[in-house]
Structures are given as structure tokens and as C-alpha cells.
Structure 1
């Protein structure tokens, strides 16, 4: 079986796979690399590092960065924006976990 036919997980489906370089991430977001560094310093996103030490970002991190840019553009301070985003992310995760538990414990439909 060739790798193209493999049924295992792929990085295409992995929202947390660090696929994007800093330059590409900044380009996709319409920001500067300095903006991404500031989010790293603020502890909103912590990019993984390549073997050469370069920052690499995941799609999930890019969504958080895009939300930060949106809040900053609306006049929210960086520290407040980071707190808002972290709370939004935690809420979304809790809602997903809650839905999974609900689906697992739903009684089977009656015929």
C-alpha cells in the first residue's frame, strides 16, 4: 500500500500540527512576524520549533492569532485580548467535551 493510500492519520487533518513558518503565518494573517512574536511573549500561543530553531505554527494557533488581531483592532489591550481568547478557547473545549459525553450516554433510539 502506498503512502497515498494509507488510512492512518494525516497532518492535513491535525489542527495542532505545526505546519506554518512564521513568515507564512504572518502573511496568512495579514500581520507582521513581530505581531506573532508578541503573542508568544504574551503566552497566548507557543509555537513549536523546527530542528533549526524556527517557529512553526498550527492552524489552531493561527485562529487564536487572528482572533487576537480582531480584538486589538477593536481597541482591546493585548493582555485583555489574550485573557478573552484563552477563556473563549477553554469554553469551546468544555462545550465539545460536554457534547461528546452527552452523545456517549444518550439512550438508543426506540423503534
Structure 2
């Protein structure tokens, strides 16, 4: 049994009441792929607290005048945003770890791996780039 199924405890009538909508609306949202409730062995829908929050979010977006396809796209973008933020945080942690390792290696006199400043230059069209000038 999946984690989602363990948390899915609400029958459709209770889920609809908690989300402030008609049970038929939940069926429509499921057919349109906006929500995927767990199913019992007998095939009955069971909704989780996460599903209820999702239904409330859908309700907010419909109240703002958005159609179901627009809601699907907004929710996809919100999911992508969450994933990208996770990846960014992981990249930051990796970079911070690499910086600390480089600093430790430098403090131990590791040589070879030291960071060296790079000369910066601006190239202007039609002029020889200053990067080729000797210091």
C-alpha cells in the first residue's frame, strides 16, 4: 500500500464537503486529471488531506475565472517551480561544500587546486581586445 493510500481516508461526500464543493465536481476534476484519489479494493475513492488542499487550490483558481485547462497548466508550473527550488537548494549545498573543501585544501597548502583570479576584459567591436595586451 502506498503512502498516499495510507493517508487517503475521506469518502467522496466528506472530501467534497471539506473542499466546499459538490461530489460531482470532484468526479469531473478526476476525469480531467486534476486530482487522483486513492481507490479501495472495491474501487471506491478515498481522498487525503493533500487531495483536499489541492481541491481548495483548484477552487481558488476557478473563483479567479480560470478554466480547467488553465488550472492544469498553473498546477504543472507550480510543481515545476517546487522541483526547481529543490534542485537549486541541492546545487547551493554542493557548491558550498566544494568551496569549503577548496578552502581546507588551500589552508593545508594543497597547491595545485588553488583558485587564481582571471583577468577581465571588455572587447569593443573594431578594436583589438585588451586581453591580448601584455601587462
TM-score (norm 1): 0.70
Residue 13 (structure 2) aligns with = 23
Larger RCO, structures 1/2 (Cα 8 Å, 6+ apart): 1
SS of structure 2 residue aligned to 1:20 = coil
State the match for 1:73 in structure 2. Answer: 63
Matches within 5 A, 1:1-111: 16=4, 17-103=7-93, 106-107=96-97
Instruction: Give the number of aligned pairs.
Output: 96
Structure whose alpha-carbon radius of gyration is higher: 2
- The alignment's TM-score, normalised by the length of structure 2, stands at 0.59
- Structure 2: 5+ residue runs without aligned partners? 101-135
Q: Distance in 2 between matches of 1:104 and 1:58?
A: 35
In structure 1, stretches of 5+ residues that fail to align are: 1-13
RMSD, matched Cα: 2.4
Taking the aligned partners of 1:65 and 1:21, their CA distance within structure 2 comes to 14
